[in-house]
Structure 1
Amino acid sequence: MGDGSGLGFERDERGVATIVLRRPDAANALDQPLADALVTVTARIAADPDVRVVVLRAEGRFFCAGGDVKAMVAADDRPAMLDHLADTIHRSLAVLDGLAVPVVAAIQGPVAGGGLGLVLAADIAIAADSAHFSTAYTGVGLSPDCGVSALLPKAVGFRRAMRMLLHGDRIDAATAADWGLIDLAVPADGLESAVTAEVERMLAGPHPGLGEARRLVRASYARGYADQLDDERRTIARMGGTEAAASRLARFA
């Protein structure tokens, strides 16, 4: 995918779908064309039964600096522009959240604002040790978007999330790993090998069981215990009919 939207996409023959932010000169900030492309790409992934793993990547020095501040400043009707942009990005994040497919983030550089929403959309997040993370909303007088207010406290805890949101605290990659915002902080020259190892691990796992596990956990955030139990019952019964479960159960027995 190379249509000038600022987003790249490809799926290989093994079922690895890779989404790449390609606005390096703008710190991979989220503008309307990129947001529109995200909606198209996530819908495409959701409709493809052969996708086994989704990988989020970015080009350039930044992973994602959040919303495009220059576009906000230039907007004739800023509230309408922000409403439309956030609505578009949120639609793609909702699709990602509902996938029965593991999502891995390869974070090569700094993350701010709505970019945190992309990190939190991933089930496994691996960052170069030179990366850092901030909410950034206080700096521009805005409130959180991209699911940050919902998922950041779940990842790092209420108090830490509040410090990041209210004080604008920036944390380094090692701290982000210690807090649970990411899984690993690795030397920059080891990022690719660490991400590749994680993708290979996901591909070697039982499909679609792994993806259903991530879907169930994410679905639990928005519903009650009884509904979660019901979904677990239906899902484990469905997984029991898969070839992966049959072969692994027989081997285990």
Structure 2
Amino acid sequence: MSLVDYSFADAVARIRLNDAARGNPLNQAILDALADAVRRARADDAHVVVLTAAGKAFSVGGDVAAFGATDDPGQLVDDLAESLHRVVSELHRMEAVVVSAVAGAAAGAGLALAAAADLVLASESARFTVAYTKLGFSPDGGTSLLTASLGLHRLLKLALLNPVLGADEAQALGLVAQVHPDAELDRAVEGVVGVLRAGSRAAQVAVKRLARETSTPAEETALRRETLSIRARAASPDGREGVAAFLAKRAPEFPASPVRATMSPKMP
């Protein structure tokens, strides 16, 4: 069984995450397979790329078990972030409209991957959460780029408080373009694909390029900063405690940050 399925027909590339039993975690193996599928879509000169996932989750995000098993979590997370960022950059730059279809959970890097699409469709049962700070990590996968589409304070709320958003809430925030009943999501995706295929590819690509270059002109710099930040957080005591707590299914006990004593100004 391949971790990522790829097919191409009628100018439409279809990429499906296929590690359903584990919730499609974005480990190195699945990211390598995903990168290969994206390269194939580009080589096939796809007009539309459809990104989906098998099973009950779109993606649970990072493979936390792997974080806990390594002696060097900083390097592991650095490698994973760079691999994910290459995929995200390729999806953003390719001359195709990318559509993601989310059913079930899209958490952490899974949310970032879904949001890398140009259009995000969701089933009514879809759930979205940023989740990184629960592990003592900072986000990667282009999560910081969502400031351009969601707004600064909305993104900070999602990243700092880690609410789990239902599909309708995600649509209200602007993360999701359309929400459909679970049983109708596949048909809705095909409807969107049909609209895109009937349109001018050149015009669609021009719109995509203009919008992305205007909203995130320093994308590569932002992605590199995300990599450096998450690497440092993963290797930190907070990151190690967050991973250990997650695997033990307990609440993390992050050490309290020291508070600097400040002198009150003297009154005249």
Please give the range of the TM-score, normalised by the shorter of the 2 chains.
0.7 to 0.9
After superposition, residues 58-97 of structure 1 pair within 5 angstroms as 58-97=53-92
- In 2, are the aligned partners of 1:98 and 1:219 still within 8 Å (CA)? no
Deviation (angstroms), 1:25? 1.3
Query: What is the one-letter code of the residue matched to 1:137?
Result: Y
Deviation (angstroms), 1:60? 0.4
Which residue is 2:21 aligned to? Answer: 25
Deviation (angstroms), 1:160? 1.4
Instruction: Name which of 6, 9, 22 aligns with 2:6.
Output: 9
Q: Aligned to 2:141, what secondary structure does the other structure show?
A: coil
Q: Aligned to 2:14, what secondary structure does the other structure show?
A: strand
- After superposition, what is the alpha-carbon deviation per residue over 1:16-46, rounded to whole angstroms, capped at 9, x for unaligned? 1011011111111101011111222222222
Instruction: Name which of 147, 154, 158 aligns with 2:142.
Output: 147
- In 2, are the aligned partners of 1:101 and 1:212 still within 8 Å (CA)? no
Deviation (angstroms), 1:86? 0.9
Q: Aligned to 2:13, what secondary structure does the other structure show?
A: strand
Which residue is 2:175 aligned to? Answer: 181
- In 2, are the aligned partners of 1:126 and 1:183 still within 8 Å (CA)? yes
Which residue is 1:138 aligned to? Answer: 133
Which residue is 1:168 aligned to? Answer: 162
Which residue is 1:37 aligned to? Answer: 33
Q: Residues of 2 paired with 1:186 and 1:63: CA distance?
A: 15
Matched positions, count: 218
After superposition, residues 91-240 of structure 1 pair within 5 angstroms as 91-151=86-146, 153-223=147-217
Which residue is 2:250 aligned to? Answer: none
Q: Residues of 2 paired with 1:118 and 1:81: CA distance?
A: 19
Deviation (angstroms), 1:222? 3.8
Larger Rg: 2
Task: With the length of structure 1 as denominator, give the TM-score of the two structures.
Answer: 0.82
- In 2, are the aligned partners of 1:18 and 1:56 still within 8 Å (CA)? yes
Query: What is the one-letter code of the residue matched to 2:90?
Result: V
Q: Residues of 1 paired with 2:213 and 2:152: CA distance?
A: 20
Over the matched positions of the two proteins, sequence identity in percent amounts to: 35
- In 1, are the aligned partners of 2:4 and 2:37 still within 8 Å (CA)? no
- In 2, are the aligned partners of 1:132 and 1:173 still within 8 Å (CA)? yes
Q: Residues of 1 paired with 2:187 and 2:201: CA distance?
A: 23
Query: Higher RCO, 1 or 2 (CA under 8 Å, sep at least 6)?
Result: 2
5+ residue gaps, structure 1:
225-253
Query: What is the one-letter code of the residue matched to 1:23?
Result: D
Deviation (angstroms), 1:209? 2.0
Indicate the RMSD between aligned Cα atoms, in angstroms.
1.4
- After superposition, what is the alpha-carbon deviation per residue over 1:114-135, rounded to whole angstroms, capped at 9, x for unaligned? 1111121111111011111100
